[in-house]
Structure 1
Amino acid sequence: MAAGDLLRLGARVGDVVGIVDGYFHQRAAVRHKEILALLSAGVAVHGAASMGALRAAELASFGMVGHGRIFADYCRGIIEADDEVAMLHGSEAEDYQPFTEALVNVRYALDGAVGAGLITAPVAHAVLTAARRLPFAERTRDRIVAAAHRVGDADERRSVEQAIRSAADVKHADARLLLDAVCGGSPQNARPAYVPHWRLNETAYLRAWQAGVGECGSLPAGEGEEGRLVSAAQAHTACRVLALDYPAFRERVATWTLARDHATAIAPGEAASAGDSALMRVLRAGLGLREASEEEVLRQAVLARLRALGLVAPEAYADPGLDRWCTTSERSMPEAVRTVKAASRALFTDLLLGFHDPFMDALRSSGAYRVARSRVAQSLLLVQRLREERPSLHLSQLRPGNVLAWFSQQWGRVDMDDAVLERGFSTTEDFVACARPYYLFHKANPHLRPLTIG
């Protein structure tokens, strides 16, 4: 298990997840925040033996359940270093064959020798200290025995060698305990859904990790996926680049989101989970606009929200700071109209979307979402194949001018600075960086139907 793997599981309330081993050197280790995200969602998370024991000891107060001797000793402070459970092992093709000995197994073997009266506690401590000085990737049984060659007398050294060479695999035993606990199948092992007593603090990093792997999974055969994982964030980017009606979609979703924020502020109990019709009734009553059009109600709700945030002065309809987010043609529009358009960009930058992305949420419920994921997969697959044929190929070699010219023709726009701004890109450079794989794919497949969100 590595960073991101837990978020890819799609675990839901009532599910049980067990963590035993995990990467921490070749790949980033499973993050505490990922485990907390599962726990906060009502998923029971258990750990034992290695990375699982370490994380369970660190997160026991948040509800992660630990099993086994190693977990208990981490909790008691008998074991402190994370490298005590670290091992060098083979690849998946080699069935992850271990090449070194876990220091924790050496520790327990020495404890057993002390308990049997074969060696003294000071000798055991000296041997463990010598073994600890070896990097974890060099802790073979031979190297550990050699490191302890000057410890104790001859009889003790023989006992030390025998203990190390016959050390039991405590990690394996602890892993079995976890499996027995979560997979035993007996009624007494059945556990109710975990209910956290704390609230998860969602950070921008967590949101970015979730977006990066959100709803990853295989697409049906025939869609060009061929096992490639496609995240919700990638699908959203594809729509930003390819969907002809994305600017209108973005403005609509942003407007409703800001209007809902205002409704929640004035009627939190009623507006929090209200549908669009109920939300509109709340807004009409709160703004005193019972006869106004839906468009006007939404506009006034957005303005009220911007005033509450201090982005527009009381009684004002525009602000120079927001005007910079307007296109050239929008700057001649009525103040209230252009302010709403500007707010749909200024308050939904990529950085802020790391906390909450309403566009991604709306896309998931549209027919375009599935098509967009397929386009992502097909585009990335094409790039991969081209790189296999031409290893020196890099997307940065595609000239920005050619990319912009092609999309200018597709969109029927010549004002590309304004066109990409409407799609949530700060500059044409940012747009080109995201658009290159899709440009390449669509140039190779000129008869594809245009993508629309609806």
Structure 2
Amino acid sequence: MSLHVFAGPTLSAAEVTAHAPHAVLHPPVAHGDLLSLALVAGDVVVIIDGYYHQAAPVRHKEILQLIDRGVHVVGCASMGALRAAELHTCGMIGHGVVYSMYRNEEIDADDEVAVAHLRTDDFSAMNVPLVNVRFALRGAADAGVLDDREHASLLETARGLHYTDRSWRNIRATLTRDAGEGELVDRVEQFLQEHPECANIKRADALATLDHVVELTASPPARLPASWQNELIFRWVVEFEGRDVDGRWVSDGDVLRHRQIYDPSFPGIWEELVVDATAPGAPTLDADELRAVVRAFRPVRGLYDVRTFRPGLVDDPEVHGAIAEAKRMNDDVMWRRKVRLVERLSTTRLEQHLRELWGLSPVDDVTALTTAAHDRGFVSLEEAVAAVRPFFLRDDADKGGRIQGRWSTS
């Protein structure tokens, strides 16, 4: 069993290691991160922190994909608590006060736990999350430091600030300006000095979850109904599963598109897939009928179906290396020192490149090129152009082209 923890800024790496010495540490979780892990049944993932605005957030179906594989997924404190409250009926395990507040609908907004943080190794927080303010005020009120009106005034003031501006200093300044009651914050801060356990409920929840992760994951993971999947999760699985090659992530989707473009045997593989998917055991089609079916067919699950039909297509180290090198070159070669050159390549030049790769005449019309794309499983010529774009600069350099040399490197 492996334990993976996504944290920062609620907990530092040192705090995670102190409470879970064998954990594999990860930064805040983002869309695709869970799918890129090679997880198996019995593994455990603890989601504490996750990205909201800086990157696409982790999707619900990514979590369900892991649960469906028999992976225990635990959420607490921040993004983890939010997702666990949303998915507890599907088998995600929630723990802690913040999780309970979401599940009991005491809170429901994302910004209750949102924190702006520095882009450093420790992800230092730049604001106080509203749920921490809420918990601190509740403690102060229960201790008689605040009366009901004062409690409500402080909470409303904190809620009125944008999450990036929430701090005790800004709450004090706003209260002083609007109601002349800045001293209420002084009282709360004095209370927190005497009762530090009330100052950071997110941190307390995260530490408690790590301390109890064995008990939390003692039961077998939930079994999901077959109907939970949709076309998005199959697309995401192919785009995020893969491997690291010399510091570059090469997804199975990258490899399959490379095969579509460059593998001379791919049209035959595509034809076999189409026949297997549409007419197994049916009378043999004549040549014209078969070509029509092959060019019109669209797999229900996209490239996922291609990978399922021929799993070995994604296992070629030479292809992995070529893709990693192409990605390195794309990142290095800049157009006028502003944007990556690969993003400025013209569609006309890329279409011509496809003609060369597929043995078409330079004067063949777009219809012939589109037909060749369909024969390789592309929905459209535009899709084929998008697929070859990331590989063009490397191809051009390998063939002695001078496009790379005309532009600066980063």
Common fold: TM-score over 0.5: yes
1:253-306 deviations in whole A, cap 9, x for unaligned?
22123345xxxxxxxxxxxxxxxxxxxxxx4xxxxxxxxxxxxxxx52xx7xxx
Higher strand share: 2
1:432 and 2:382 correspond: no
Cα distance in 1 between the residues matched to 2:235 and 2:293: 22
Residue among 305, 313, 318 paired with 1:371: 318
Which residue of structure 2 aligns with residue 227 of structure 1? 247
Which residue of structure 2 aligns with residue 53 of structure 1? 81
- Structure 1 residues 106-121: aligned runs within 5 Å: 106-121=133-148
Which stretches in structure 1 are left out of the alignment for 5+ residues?
220-225, 261-282, 284-298, 304-334, 448-454
Report the CA distance between 1:386 and its aligned residue.
2.0
Length, aligned pairs only: 362
Report the CA distance between 1:50 and its aligned residue.
0.7
Cα distance in 1 between the residues matched to 2:389 and 2:128: 48
Cα distance in 2 between the residues matched to 1:8 and 1:17: 13
Identity value in percent: 31
Which residue of structure 1 aligns with residue 68 of structure 2? 40
Which residue of structure 1 aligns with residue 17 of structure 2? none
Cα distance in 2 between the residues matched to 1:393 and 1:26: 21
Cα distance in 2 between the residues matched to 1:412 and 1:153: 78
1:422 and 2:386 correspond: no
Letter of the 1:387 counterpart: M
1:234-256 deviations in whole A, cap 9, x for unaligned?
11111111111211111112212
156 and 370 in structure 1: CA distance in 2 versus 1, 3 angstrom threshold: closer
1:253 and 2:267 correspond: no
Cα distance in 2 between the residues matched to 1:364 and 1:9: 18
Report the CA distance between 1:410 and its aligned residue.
4.4
Q: Is the 1:44–1:194 contact (alpha carbons within 8 Å) kept by the matching residues of 2? A: yes
Cα distance in 2 between the residues matched to 1:426 and 1:366: 20
240 and 105 in structure 1: CA distance in 2 versus 1, 3 angstrom threshold: same
Q: Is the 2:117–2:124 contact (alpha carbons within 8 Å) kept by the matching residues of 1? A: yes
Note the aligned Cα RMSD (angstroms).
2.9
1:130-179 deviations in whole A, cap 9, x for unaligned?
11101110011101122333669898564234346765111111001111
Which residue of structure 1 aligns with residue 293 of structure 2? 343
1:88 and 2:38 correspond: no
397 and 156 in structure 1: CA distance in 2 versus 1, 3 angstrom threshold: closer
Which residue of structure 1 aligns with residue 149 of structure 2? 122
Residue among 190, 201, 212 paired with 1:181: 212
336 and 155 in structure 1: CA distance in 2 versus 1, 3 angstrom threshold: closer
Larger radius of gyration: 1
30 and 154 in structure 1: CA distance in 2 versus 1, 3 angstrom threshold: closer
Q: Is the 1:4–1:34 contact (alpha carbons within 8 Å) kept by the matching residues of 2? A: yes
After TM superposition, the score normalised by the length of structure 1 is: 0.71
The DSSP-based 3-state class of the residue aligned with 1:46 is strand
Which stretches in structure 2 are left out of the alignment for 5+ residues?
1-28, 401-410
Report the CA distance between 1:397 and its aligned residue.
5.1
Cα distance in 2 between the residues matched to 1:238 and 1:154: 62
Cα distance in 1 between the residues matched to 2:184 and 2:344: 67
Which residue of structure 2 aligns with residue 218 of structure 1? 244
146 and 230 in structure 1: CA distance in 2 versus 1, 3 angstrom threshold: same
Deviates more, 1:393-402 or 1:237-246: 393-402
- Structure 1 residues 5-154: aligned runs within 5 Å: 5-93=33-121, 95-149=122-176
The DSSP-based 3-state class of the residue aligned with 1:229 is strand
Which residue of structure 2 aligns with residue 326 of structure 1? none
After TM superposition, the score normalised by the length of structure 2 is: 0.79
